[in-house]
Amino acid sequence: MNVTDAIRGRRSVGRVRQDAIARERIARLVEAATWAPNHKVTEPWRFVVITGAARDALGAAHADAVVRANPGLTPEARDAALALTSRAPVIIACVCRSESEDPVMRREDRDAVCAGLQNLLLAAHADGLGAIWRTGAFIDEDEVRAHLGCGPAEEIIGFVYVGVPEGPPPPTPPRAAAAAVTEWRGWD
């Protein structure tokens, strides 16, 4: 698939089948992420690739955080929080590690991980897989951070859920024409 087609054709795919995905296919997605540009080549990323019962353990960490924030939560609501990690057979937690004291470098490290995530999404699309970058309160919860072994210099940038797409492709959200957000200077 050529790059322009991959960029235009990629969609966030939330509905996927539970079929297992071969580990080598997922490893290729993570490798694509590691080729992102990163200033001073700090390679500020770390990935935790989660499948099977390990998804339930992640879901339980999230559910514990939800219960802590809402002590009166019903068991059904806790189960719903726990079930969030069952939405795809594979979840890739993408973590930024930036030890720098310099806020500019920390920002650039984070930017690099975001670029890596886009690489990962494009690689998934080019391989016929559905993927979606998910964040929400999940990424900041102490229980989830501890579960993933995040240290103080680490930030969870997103969870990429991956699987074989199910059902019709998601609609393409409208985008303003690039011309509407571009100013051309020094051109005829």
Ligand X SMILES: Cc1cc2nc3c(=O)[nH]c(=O)nc-3n(C[C@H](O)[C@H](O)[C@H](O)COP(=O)(O)O)c2cc1C
Closer to ligand X by Cβ: residue 8 or 23: 8
List of residues 6+ apart from 94 with CB closer than 8 A: 33, 45, 47, 113, 116, 117, 120, 156, 157, 158, 159, 160
We find the least distance from the C-beta atom of residue 135 to ligand X, in angstroms, to be: 4
Which CB sits closer to ligand X, 105 or 115? Answer: 115
Nearest CA-CA partner of 115 in 25, 51, 14, 42: 42
Nearer to ligand X, 115 or 170 (CB): 170
Min CB(117)–ligand X separation in Å: 8
Closest distance between ligand X and the C-beta of residue 159, in Å?
A: 8
Q: Is 12 or 70 the residue whose CB approaches ligand X more closely?
A: 12
Nearest-approach distance from CB 115 to ligand X, in angstroms? 11
Binding site for ligand X (CB under 6 A): 11-12, 14, 132-136, 158, 170, 173
